[in-house]
Amino acid sequence: MIDFRLEQREHVSPWLVFFAPIGAVIFSLMIASILIILAGVNPIESYIKLFVGAFGSKNAIAETLARATPLILTGLAAAIAFRAKFWNIGAEGQLYAGALAVTFFGTGLIQLPSFLMIPFLFLVGALAGGLLLLPLVLLRNYYKVDEVVTTLLTNFIIVLLVGYLLEGPWKDPMSLGWPQGASVIDEGVLPQIIPRTRLHLGFIISIFTALIIWLILSRTILGFKIKAVGINPSASHHAGIPVIKTIIIVALLSGGMAGMAGVTETAGLKGYLTLDLSPGFGYAGIAVAMLAGLNPIGIIFSGIFLASIYVGADAMSRAMNVPTYLADVIVALTVLSVLISIIMLQFKIVLGGQKRDI
């Protein structure tokens, strides 16, 4: 039908690798502008409103960075897993597992001074996220049960569990009927880093975490193994790398990152667990990771970028009467355009037998 072939490139310029995601972003904003036009509004004006909404004031910037915090962490969760071709699509559930752990330990059960309490909460949150993934990774490794589906299904189970706990045994009696958990004790609350904004310590922690994950992936033996297992598990196995063990470590790390996102949201942004704690941070993390080319450093920037889309879209929606769902559309378009850019980097497109270098 269509005479169209892909031919592998032998060398890819590092500049191209750097600019490809930016091209993808511009491409998706252009496509999204068609929708804005359909909504009867001027796209350029809308994007200006969006930009101002995300970066136009101290408060806006603080809000954007606060929103970036969980996105960076769920982005790391996706990146670690995807590098090993372990398809953890369950960051949403693992985020809530982390939040549950914070509510369980951080609302009075354990009392520690702040400098211990905060690390403690991150630890139990990460553990909860990782442990939620553990049975699923074991099922995958030993019973060949596809992890894509089990992680996705687990998201729904955990959200229902949260719903039960918040309407039942963990419901805060002070909350006047709203289903929400008890407040995290003062020692456990992540302090604001810009006064009178919602930006909290979690942001700094997420950036540090990204740096540490970058070190692990690029400079350590574990990172080497993860890379090898992700590219060719069979060859890695034959070369003596313990593939199953590596995948389990990947799962624990990945789930741990998502669990930490639950901690930043519960102990940082809100101070207590609610049913709408995450408006899909777990799924958006996939977009964050893809946009960054699964690079942890890049995730800091792509996390902030996507956060600005979400935050800016709210402002734009109020000013221009474009539904806020536009932000989700842009994020989805970003995922798909990044895929195109990845293919373009890997391959030359050959049409009708004649090469055209695209």
Partner 1 sequence: MLALLEIKDISKRFGNLVANDKISFTQMQGEVLAILGENGAGKTTLMNILFGHYKPDSGEIVFRGSKLPAGKPGNAIEVGIGMVHQHFTLAENLTVLENIIIGEQSLLSFSLPQKSARKKLQDLSDRFGLPINPDTIVANLSVSEKQRLEILKTLYRDCTLLILDEPTAALTPQETDSLFSTIKNMVKNGLSVILISHKLNEILAVSDRIVVLRHGKLVGEVVTSKANRTEIAEMIVGGTVNYPKKEKSSPGKEVMRLENISCNPINESTKGLNGVDISLFEGQILGIAGVTGNGQTSLAKMMSGHLKPKNGELFFDKKRIEVFNPKKFMELGVAYIPEDRNIDGLVADMSVWENAVITEISDEKLGNTLGFLNNSSCNDAAQILCETYDVRTQTLQQPARLLSGGNVQKLLLGRWLIRQPKVLIACQPTRGLDEGAIASIQKLILDVRKKGNAVLLITEDLDELLKLSDTVSVIYNGKLSNSFSAEGLDRARVGLMMAGEGFYD
Partner 2 sequence: MIFDFVEILFTAGFWAATIRIACPLIFATLGELICERAGVLNLGIEGIMSVGAMVGWMAVYQGADLYSGILIAAFVGAMFGLLHAIFSVYLGASQHVTGIGITMLASSLGFFSFKLILPYSTTPPKIEPFQPIDIPFLSDIPFLGEALFQHTPFTYLAIISVVFIFWLINSTPFGLSIKMAGENPMALEAQGIDVLLVRSMAVILGSALMAVGGAYLTMSAFDAFYFGMVNGRGWIAIALVIFATWKPERALLGALLFAGLDAYQVRAQQLAGAVIPYQFFLMMPFLLSIVAMIIAAKKTRYPKALLIPFRRGERH
Chosen residue from 18, 19, 156, 208 binding partner 2 by CB under 8 A: 156
Taking the least distance from each CB to partner 2, the nearer of 228 and 286 is 286
Part in contact with partner 2 (CB under 8 A); list of ranges 47-55, 118-126, 176-184, 284-292: 284-292
Report the site for partner 1 in 9-38 (rule: CB under 8 A).
10
Whole-number Å distance between alpha carbons of 85 and 232:
10
| Minimum separation from the CB atom of position 257 to partner 1 (A) | 19
Instruction: Say which residues have a Cβ less than 8 Å from residue 135's Cβ, sequence separation at least 6.
Output: none
Structure tokens at 56: 């136009």
| Minimum separation from the CB atom of position 229 to partner 1 (A) | 9
Residue 340 lies near partner 2 (rule: CB under 8 A): yes
| Minimum separation from the CB atom of position 195 to partner 2 (A) | 35
Taking the least distance from each CB to partner 2, the nearer of 26 and 116 is 26
Q: Identify whether the C-beta of residue 65 lies closer than 8 Å to the C-beta of residue 304.
A: yes
Residue 273 lies near partner 2 (rule: CB under 8 A): no
Work out the angle at residue 126's Cα, subtended by the Cα atoms of residues 124 and 131, and round it to the nearest 5 degrees: 90
* 6 membership: H or E segment, kind and range: strand 4-8
Part in contact with partner 1 (CB under 8 A); list of ranges 152-160, 179-187, 225-233, 297-305: 225-233
| Minimum separation from the CB atom of position 242 to partner 1 (A) | 7
| Minimum separation from the CB atom of position 345 to partner 1 (A) | 13
DSSP 18-59: HHHHHHHHHHHHHHHHHHHHHTTS-HHHHHHHHHHHHHSSHH
Classified as helix, coil or strand, 273 is coil
Taking the least distance from each CB to partner 2, the nearer of 168 and 240 is 168
Chosen residue from 35, 132, 184, 228 binding partner 2 by CB under 8 A: 35
Part in contact with partner 1 (CB under 8 A); list of ranges 115-123, 226-234, 268-276, 281-289: 226-234
Report the site for partner 2 in 163-192 (rule: CB under 8 A).
163-164, 167-168
Query: Alpha carbon of 83 to those of 89, 247, 278, 289, 329: distances in Å?
Result: 13, 10, 24, 10, 25
Query: Alpha carbon of 251 to those of 107, 115, 181, 222, 245: distances in Å?
Result: 28, 28, 28, 13, 10
Taking the least distance from each CB to partner 1, the nearer of 233 and 280 is 233
Amino acid occupying residue 63: E
Residue 3 lies near partner 1 (rule: CB under 8 A): yes
Burial zone of 58 (CB within 10 Å; 0-12 exposed, 13-18 middle, 19+ buried): exposed
Q: Which does 302 bind (CB under 5 to 8 A by kind): partner 1, partner 2, none?
A: none
Q: Identify whether the C-beta of residue 233 lies closer than 8 Å to the C-beta of residue 159.
A: no
Taking the least distance from each CB to partner 2, the nearer of 196 and 276 is 276
Residue 357 lies near partner 1 (rule: CB under 8 A): no
Q: Identify whether the C-beta of residue 224 lies closer than 8 Å to the C-beta of residue 239.
A: no
Classified as helix, coil or strand, 229 is helix
Site residues, partner 1 (CB under 8 A): 3, 5, 7-8, 10, 219-225, 227-228, 231-232, 234-242, 353
Site residues, partner 2 (CB under 8 A): 1-2, 4-8, 35, 38-39, 82, 87, 89, 139, 143-146, 148-150, 152-154, 156-157, 160-161, 163-164, 167-168, 283, 286-287, 290, 321-323, 325-326, 328-329, 331-333, 335-336, 339-340, 342-343, 350
